[in-house]
Structure 1
Amino acid sequence: MSNTRIQQYLTGIRSGLPVIPSFLPVGIAYAIIAQQAGFTPFETVLMSATVLAGSSQIMAAGMVLQGAGLAAVIFATFVLNLRHLIMSTCVIRNFRDAPLRLRLLASFGVADESFAVFSMAREEDRTLWDFLGLMTDVYFAWVFAAVLGVFSSTLLPQLLLDSTGIALYAIFIAILLPNLRRGGGLVRLVLLTALCSTLLSRFIAPSWSLIVSSLLCAALGVSFVDEAALEGKEAADAP
C-alpha cells in the first residue's frame, strides 16, 4: 500500500473516531434483545459481524422474540434496509475507478453513521481509502458493542434488561422527530402509517401489518408529501 493510501486510510480512521461511542448503547441493546429471543452469544455477535445494521438487527431480534415467522423477519428487514441502496450508490460513485472487489467491500461498510461522516467530509477526503478507514471504525465498534452486550446481559439487573425492549422504538423516534418538523405532509404520513398498521393488525399478524402498512402508505405518501417544500425548509434551516 502506498504512503498516500496509508495517509488516506488513517485520515478515515480519525474521522470515524467521534461516532464510535454512539454504537455502544445500541449494540448492547441489540445483543440483550437477541439473547432474550434465543440467540446464542456466537449467533448474536455473528449477526453484527455479517449484517452491520443496527436498526434492522434490533427489529429482527425483536420480531423473533415476539414469535414472528422467518419470512416476515426477512421481508421487514429488507424494507427497512432499502435506504442502503441509495446510500451505497451515493458513496460508491466516488470510487468508479476502484477495483470491483474493493467497491464491494466498501458497500458492505455503508451504514447510517459512515454515510453521514463521509458525506460531510471535504471533497478531497472522499476517497476509497478514506472510506475504508472510516468503515474500520464503524465495523469494529459495532462488533465490539455486540460482544460487550453479550457479557453485559449476565451483569445488568433484570429491570434494566427488560427495559431494552423499547430500544427499537427509541431508535425510530430519534430518526423521525428531526424530519417531522420539515413539513405537515410527513406528519400526516407517519400518522396514516400508524393508523393503517393498527387496523391491519386486527386481521393479520402484527409483523405483516407493519410491512404492508409501510409499503402502502409510502406509495400513498408520494401524492401529498411535497418534496420541493421539504427542500426549501432544509435550505431555510441551513446556517
Structure 2
Amino acid sequence: MLMMANNIFPDKTEHSNELNKGILASLPIFIGYIPVAITFGLLAKATGLTLLESFLFSALVFAGASQFMALQLISLGVAHLQIIAITFIMNFRHFLMSSYLSTLFPTHEHHWLPFISFGITDESFAYFSTQKQNQKKHFILGLQYSAYISWVGGTVIGYLFGAIIPPIIQASMGITLYALFIALLIPEAKKFYPAAITAGIGGFIHSLLTWLQVFSTGWNIIIAIFSAAVLGALLMGQDEEEAQ
C-alpha cells in the first residue's frame, strides 16, 4: 500500500506524507476488518449470493453491521424494500458523521467530500473525532481506503476460500453479527447509560413483536429501531437538561 501511495505522489510532497501516515494509522483497522470480512464472504456464499454479488455488496455498501443484517434478512425471505429500508435506517448515522467531516474542509476542497463520505465507518470516524491533528484530507483518504481494501478483499477471500476453514470454526462464525453489535454497544453503554437503556428498549420491543407475530420480521425490526430511537432521544434530552 505504501508503494502505491509513492507511485501516486512520487515527489514525496506533503500530500504523499499525509497519505502514508493515514495508511500506517489504518493498520489496526485493516487487520481487524479481515476476519469479519472473511466471515461475511463465507456467510454470503452460504446465503446463496454469487461471487460478483458478494463483491459488489461490500464494494458498494461498505457497512459491516448493515451487510450482516441484510444477509440475515435475505435468508429469512424478507421483502427487498424492507431490507433496503432497514439498511437505510441503520446507516442513517452516516449522515451525521459526514456532516461533521464536511466542516473540516474549506469550500474549495468540497469536491473531496463524496469520496470521504463514502469511506466513513464507525471505526474510522472514531479515530478522526479523537485525533484532531490527523484531519487532513489525504490522511483521511489513506486511512479510509486502506480499510476499504481490507473489507472488500476479505469478503472475496472468505467467499473463495472459506470452505477451507474447519466446519466447527465456520459454525462459530455465525455469531459474528451479534459480537459486532455488542462490540459497538458496550463501550458506548459504559460511558453513557441512555445508550444501554435504548438498546434494551429496542431489544424488548423487537422480542415482544416477534412473540405477538403481528408483523413480518422486517417490519418488527423497523418498528423496534424507530421506537428505540424516539425513546432514546427523549432520555438523552432529559439527561442533558439535568446536566444543566
Q: CA deviation at 1:229?
A: 8.6
2:169 alignment partner in structure 1? 160
Aligned match of 2:201 in 192, 195, 201? Answer: 192
Closer/same/farther in 2, CA of residues 11 and 229 from structure 1, 3 Å limit: farther
Runs of 4+ in 1 over 4 A off after TM superposition: 229-232
Alignment partner of 1:224 is 2:235: yes
Q: Name the SS of the counterpart of 2:44 in structure 1.
A: helix
- Taking the aligned partners of 1:185 and 1:85, their CA distance within structure 2 comes to 21
The 5 A counterparts of 1:25-64 are 25-64=35-74
- State the secondary structure of the residue aligned to 2:234: coil
The AA in structure 1 aligned to 2:66 is: S
RMSD: 2.2
Q: % of aligned pairs identical?
A: 29
| 2:6 match | none
* Aligned residue number for residue 126 of structure 1: 135
Q: How does 1:5-154 map to 2 (within 5 A)?
A: 5-123=15-133, 125-154=134-163
Letter paired with 1:196: I
Q: 1:97/1:223 Cα in 2 relative to 1: closer, same or farther (>3 Å)? A: closer
Q: 1:121 to 1:58 in 2, by over 3 A?
A: same
Aligned to 2:29, the other structure's residue is in SS state helix
Q: Structure 1, residues 63-103: CA drift from partner, whole Å, max 9, x if none?
A: 11121110111011111101111111122221233444322
Change (3 A) 1:104 1:155: same
Unpaired stretches in structure 1, ≥5 consecutive residues: 233-239
- The letter of the residue matching 2:169 is L
Instruction: Note the alpha carbon deviations across 1:3-22, whole angstroms, 9 max, x for none.
Output: 12111111211211222111
Contact (CA 8 Å) 1:20, 1:141: kept in 2 or not? yes
- Distance in 2 of aligned mates of 1:113 and 1:186: 18
Q: What is the SS of the residue equivalent to 1:110?
A: coil
Deviation by residue 1:99-123 (Cα, 9 ceiling, x = unmatched)? 4432211111111122122223243
* CA apart distance, 1:189: 2.5
Using a 3 Å threshold, how does the CA distance of structure 1 residues 154 and 115 change in structure 2: closer, same or farther?
Answer: same
In 2, Cα distance between the equivalents of 1:158 and 1:181?
Answer: 35
Q: Name stretches of at least 5 consecutive residues in structure 2 with no aligned partner.
A: 1-8
- Distance 1:14-1:188 versus aligned 2 partners, 3 A rule: closer
TM superposition shift of 1:161: 2.3
In the alignment, the residues of structure 1 paired with residue 55 and residue 242 of structure 2 have an alpha-carbon distance, to the nearest angstrom, of 39
1:192-214 CA distance string (max 9 Å, x none): 22221122222111221011111
Cα distance between partner residues in 1 of 2:73 and 2:177 = 11
Q: Structure 1: how far apart are the matches of 2:52 and 2:230?
A: 39
Alpha-carbon distance in structure 2 between the residues aligned to 1:56 and 1:106: 19
The letter of the residue matching 1:17 is L
Give the TM-score taking structure 1 as reference length. 0.87
| Pair 188,99 (structure 1): closer, same or farther in 2 beyond 3 Å | closer
Aligned residue for 2:163, secondary structure, equals coil
Report the CA distance shift for 1:231/1:169 in structure 2 as closer, same or farther (over 3 A).
farther
**Residues 190 and 116 of structure 1: CA distance in aligned 2, closer, same or farther (over 3 Å):** closer
Q: 2:215 aligns with which of 200, 204, 219?
A: 204
Moved more, 34-43 or 152-161: 152-161
Q: 3-state SS of the aligned residue for 2:215?
A: coil
User: Equivalent residue for 2:3?
Assistant: none
